[in-house]
Structure formats: C-alpha cells, structure tokens
Amino acid sequence: MNPKPENIACDSNDTQARLLNAAESLFIDAGYAGMSARAIAQTAGVNIAAMGYHFGSKHGLLEAVLIRRVAPINDARLRRLARVCERGPDAIGAILHAFLWPVFYTENEAPARRLMGRVMTEPADVVEPLLDLVFSDVIEQFVAAVAACFPNEDKGLIAQKFSFVVGALSFTLLRPSSPLFGSVTTTDVSFKRLLKFSVDGFQITPTNRSIEKDIL
Amino acid sequence: MNPKPENIACDSNDTQARLLNAAESLFIDAGYAGMSARAIAQTAGVNIAAMGYHFGSKHGLLEAVLIRRVAPINDARLRRLARVCERGPDAIGAILHAFLWPVFYTENEAPARRLMGRVMTEPADVVEPLLDLVFSDVIEQFVAAVAACFPNEDKGLIAQKFSFVVGALSFTLLRPSSPLFGSVTTTDVSFKRLLKFSVDGFQITPTNRSIEKDIL
DNA sequence: ACTGATTTTAAACGATCGTTTGAAAGTAGG
DNA sequence: CCTACTTTCAAACGATCGTTTAAAATCAGT
C-alpha cells in the first residue's frame, strides 16, 4: 500500500530521511542523471527497493528532496515580501533582501543553498516542471514587486534584471569554492556582497555610451 | 592508428564534425551524464564505434566540443582586453565589454552561448579540470584588470563581483527562454542589459544601511 | 589494379541502469 | 499467540551504459 502519505518528516535516522539526505548530497555533487539509485541507497545505508517503496521512483525522491528544502525558503521569501510591500512600493533593496536572505539564513541552510544552485541549473527535461511548480509563484510576485519600484521601466527589462540576480545567486550557491575565483568567503560576506551588487545593478543610471562607441 | 591528430576542423559533414555537433547539442540539453554515447551516434548518423575511434572516449569528445567553441571566444576576450589595457586602468565598462562581447557575437554564437552556460554549471567532477584548463587564464587576467580599476577595493570583493557577472551570464545563456522570467529578448538586448547591469554592480556606491537595519 | 593505411561497420563485451518481485522481518492491537 | 499491516531484504527483471573487437569498406599512392 501507499507508504505514509501524510507524514513526510520523520525521525532523522529512519529510511525516508536517510534517502532524502543521501539523494540531496548526490544530486548536489552530480546532478540528477549523474546520481544512481544504487549510489543513493548505498550512501543512505538502505536497500535499493526502499526508494521505490517510499518515494515511488528516483524522480519522486528528487521531488521530495527539492520540496523539503525549497518550500521553507520560498515561504520565508513571500512572508518577507508581504511585509516589505506594506511599506510602499519604493524599496528595491528591501525586496531583494527579502528574496536573498532566506536562501542564506534559513535553517539547514548549507545543503539547501547548494541544492538551490544545482536545481536552477539542471537540464530542463529533468526539473523544468518542478521549477515551474516551485518557483513560478515566487518569481512572479518578486518581479511584480520590483516592477512597482520602477514604474517607468520596461517590464521585460525588470524581469531580465531579476534573472541576472537569480543567475548570480545560483552560481554563487553552486560553486561556493571554485579555484577560478580565488578565496572563499563566509556566508555573511557573500550575502551582503550579492545583495549590494544586485541593488546597484537595478538602479537607474545613465547608459555610458562611450563603452560601446569606443570599443566597437 | 591515431586518427588525424593534426587537422581537427574538417568538412562540415564528415564523421568528426557530425559527432561534435551532435554531442554539443545533446550536452546543451541534457548535460554530460544525461547524454549517452548511443544517442550522440544516432543523432550524428554515425556508428557508435566512431566516437572511440576519433575522440578516444565520450569524455574526449566533450573536451573537443568545449575547446572548439570556447577557445575562439576566450581568444577574442583576451585580444580585446589587451587593447583595453593599453588605454589605462580605469575602464571597467570596457573591460566587461571585452569579457561579454565575444560570447554574444563570436561566429557560431548560438550553440556556443548555450554550451558556455551549460559547461559553467555542470557538476564539478565532470568538467572541473576542463574549466580550469580553459577558463583559469581568462578569469585571472580579467579579475586582475578589474582590480586595477579599483585599487582601493578588496581583491576578494572584486573576484566575487566578477563571479556574480559570470553567474548572471551563465544563467542567461543557459535559459534563453524560461517560462519563469517571461518574454524572450534578442541577443543584442540581452547583451546590452547584462553589460549595463554588470557595470552598475561593480560601481563603488555607498552601502544602504537602512536595508539591513529595517528588515532584520 | 594492387597494396597499405585509414575509416566505418555490426556485434558483442562486462557493467550498471531504474524498477519490480515475493518472501522474510518487524510492529502493533486483540 | 495470532492476525493484519508495514517495512526491509536479497535477487532478479529487461534495458541501456561506455567501450572494444575484428572484419568489411573506403581511400590514397604507385
């Protein structure tokens, strides 16, 4: 029969939690196609069949992994956004703060961060439906809130600027320590830097025409 | 014996080129672990064994795919950077222009762009050595050039800001049309927006303390 | 046309893939 | 203890994985 459909969160050492943790870790390091069901079971110290029994399939397990981590973060984002919007529409810094803060400071943040970075960059055919399901509401509301800060700006520009923020965020989460970019920083420093970078990128500034004319 | 070690570029319909094109397309859509050697051969209309014969292995084929596209872009980047640096150290806009322009406007740009986005976000154990090999020199030189623009700023901050640019770029290339962020734009528009966003993000502006105090 | 090297081919290698089965083990409530 | 239910387990399912083999086909030089 269907196994415990009502109670997802269990003791941290039972089979379901062990599978979730193992799948999360392997998904972060190898992506969906790169993690095998057997490797998950072995890492979890659990029989392979337990995956099918508790989550239906490998993809069902990934879905549970994502929802476990992403849902609390997105909930916190929307709660903070609601509080910001009560203060009036002109607070781009506060809006981006509401978007970024929960990623860096929600509990269980360390695995959740890397998971977020991985899932945002995973091949579309694996997670596109899941991304839509989990993120479309959050993105939509935040883009609308940011657009309200710049009522005279093109909506497409606002949406794309927000995608730049999401990209910078995802890449930062995905490669917390990359030999390409030198020294690693603490969570707090990265958060503050990314927030400031994003806010500055959103500001309306005069386009520097000399860049294009001089170089091109 | 070793197959044509000296002449990589061939007629656009010979086996090597067909394999390169097919592997590139599948790598973009599914990542390394998600593309199978058989799918590559089938897409290329070529026998499976031809992959081992011409490129040694699936990983060797990926390596050739990456170098074919990324090397010309990185060459153009460094050529443009050299020209910029002759003009003096205070041209962050020109530097970022030199970094971004070749991605959007090097020939064969369309597949090359998506390939660049995919490879930057692929799991580390697959492409980390390749990333190091292909990008470390470019990143190092550009970070140094940008640092010269802001001699009083922390080097780690400069490097991380540059990683934000790379992240925003990678994400933009990876998801040229995502239902999450609404309408698609042309290459020219995306390029100009990303360049401006990056330049503004690098500017030295006073930190808005009210963001943190108000919300936290 | 013949020879020697290059390239393509069908077929198979062992390994691993995600999933399923049916029996054994564990867990209450009576 | 017995029964009904849940969970775990070893084992196997067919399919596909990346790679290799050796023979067939193609090509270039004389």
Residue B8 main-chain phi, psi, to 5 deg: -75, -50
Separation in Å, CA of A211 to nearest CA in chain B: 6
Q: Name which of B163, B172, B205 to mutate to probe chain A: the one with the most chain A Cβ atoms within 10 A of its Cβ.
A: B163
Among B135, B59, B127, smallest CA distance to B103 is for B135
Q: Which residues contact A32 (CB under 8 A, 6 or more apart)?
A: A59, A62, A122, A123, A126, A127, B34
Q: Kindly list the distances between the CA atom of residue A135 and the CA atoms of A59, A64, A127, A142, B2, in Å, as whole numbers in the listed order.
A: 18, 15, 11, 11, 49
With contacts defined as CB-CB under 8 Å, which chain B residues touch A179?
132, 136
Alpha-helix runs per DSSP H in A35-154: 37-44, 49-55, 58-85, 92-105, 109-121, 124-149
Give the residue numbers spanning the domain of A109.
15-204
- CA geometry: angle at A173 spanning A169 and A175, to 5°? 120
Whether A36 is in a domain gets the answer yes
Whether A214 is in a domain gets the answer no
Measured in angstroms, what separates residue A128's CA from nucleotide D14's C1'? Answer: 29
Separation in Å, CA of A102 to nearest CA in chain B: 11
With contacts defined as CB-CB under 8 Å, which chain B residues touch A150?
none
Exposure string for A86-106, b = 16+ CB within 10 A, e = fewer: eeeeebbbbbbbbbbbbbbeb
CATH number of the domain that B99 lies in? 1.10.357.10
DSSP B136-196: HHHHHHHHHHHHHH-TTS-HHHHHHHHHHHHHHHHHHHH-SS-GGG-S---HHHHHHHHHH
Give the orientation angle of helix A15-34 with respect to helix B15-34, to 10 degrees: 170
Distance in angstroms between the alpha carbons of the first and the last residue of chain B: 67
Q: What's the burial of B139, exposed, middle or buried (CB within 10 Å: 0-12/13-18/19+)?
A: buried
Whether A57 is in a domain gets the answer yes
Dihedral over Cα of B39, B44, B50, B54: its sign = negative
Whether A3 is in a domain gets the answer no
Whether A131 is in a domain gets the answer yes
* Contact assignment for B193 to A160 by CB distance below 8 Å: yes
- CA geometry: angle at B66 spanning B187 and A173, to 5°? 70
Cα gap B102→B77, rounded to integer Å: 6
Give the orientation angle of helix B187-202 with respect to helix A155-174, to 10 degrees: 60
- Closest partner residue to B160 (CB to CB) among A143, A155, A185 is A185
Separation in Å, CA of A11 to nearest CA in chain B: 30
Classify residue A31 as left (phi > 0), alpha (psi -120 to 50) or beta.
Answer: left
Whether A113 is in a domain gets the answer yes
Would you say residue B192 has pLDDT above 60? yes
Q: What does the pLDDT read at residue A110?
A: 84
Q: What does the pLDDT read at residue B110?
A: 85
Show pLDDT as tens, one digit a residue, over chain A (216 residues): 444 443 334 344 699 999 999 999 999 999 999 999 999 999 999 999 999 999 999 999 999 999 999 999 999 999 999 999 777 666 999 999 999 999 999 987 788 899 999 999 999 999 999 988 889 999 999 999 999 999 999 999 999 999 999 999 999 999 888 888 877 788 899 999 999 999 999 998 777 665 555 454
Residue with CA nearest C1' of nucleotide C20: A49
Looking at the 3D structure of chain B, how many domains does it have?
A: 1
> What share of chain B in percent tops pLDDT 90?
71
Among A52, A53, A48, smallest CA distance to A38 is for A48
Whether B6 is in a domain gets the answer no
Which nucleotide lies closest to A53 by the C1' atom and the CA atom? D7
Q: How many CB atoms lie within 10 A of CB B77?
A: 21
Q: Which residues contact B63 (CB under 8 A, 6 or more apart)?
A: B55, B130
* Contact assignment for A123 to B161 by CB distance below 8 Å: no
Measured in angstroms, what separates residue A52's CA from nucleotide D13's C1'? Answer: 15
**Which of the pair, B212 or B140, is modelled with greater confidence?**
B140
Whether B170 is in a domain gets the answer yes
The radius of gyration of chain B from alpha carbons, rounded to an integer in Å, stands at 20
Q: What does the pLDDT read at residue B204?
A: 87
Residue A20 exposure: Cα atoms within 13 Å on the Cβ side? 21
How sure is the predictor about B113, in pLDDT bands with cuts at 50, 70 and 90? very high
Cα gap A162→A159, rounded to integer Å: 5
List protein-proximal bases of chain C (any atom < 7 A from a CB).
Answer: 5-12, 16-22
Cα gap A36→A34, rounded to integer Å: 6
**Which of the pair, B109 or A68, is modelled with greater confidence?**
A68
Cα gap B65→B62, rounded to integer Å: 5
